Amino acid sequence: MKRPEPSPPGLQPLRIPAGWFINWNTLREIDPAEAEGGAFAGSSLFMATHAQMRFQIDVEWRPEFDPDGSYQMRVEYAPWKRTERGRRREDVALSFADAEVVHRFETRSRAELVRELDAWLWRAATWVREGH
């Protein structure tokens, strides 16, 4: 009788406050030292957008496919487009093309990454970056 294949590691549990849209999540509950080939193949492992607060969080593994790489997290803020008088233009679609990077974090530790990611998911969901 053939032994069953071990199931792949599940997704990393995260505490995600209301308002976030998860663009994608392939962040697994596995450490780099335990990973077999391909576990860190995708450059972007997690991306979430909070449209109302205008934040985006991206977690990558760099260099891609390199077991000696590291997690790299980037938090971006997309300021409101403004009129000549300085008022918010709400008729312009949200875009992160010219976003301001407000935080960067790099680690090889999944536990450290999860702590930092949980903290920024909460902070960005409640932080008012600019006035109305």
**Per-residue pLDDT tens over the stretch 6-49:** 556 788 999 999 999 999 998 988 876 676 655 566 678 999 99
Q: Could you tell me where the beta strands, DSSP code E, fall in 86-132?
A: 100-107
Q: How many other CB atoms are there within 10 angstroms of residue 14's CB atom?
A: 15
Please give the Cα distance from 51 to 127 (Å, whole number): 13
What is residue 49's predicted lDDT score, i.e. its pLDDT?
Answer: 97
Q: Is the pTM of this model over 0.75?
A: yes
Residues 6+ apart with CB under 8 A from 69: 32, 40, 61, 62, 63
H/E element, 122: helix 110-126
What is residue 131's predicted lDDT score, i.e. its pLDDT?
Answer: 59
Tell the residue number behind the tokens 């998860």, with chain if given.
Answer: 22
**Per-residue pLDDT tens over the stretch 72-97:** 999 999 988 888 888 888 888 888 98
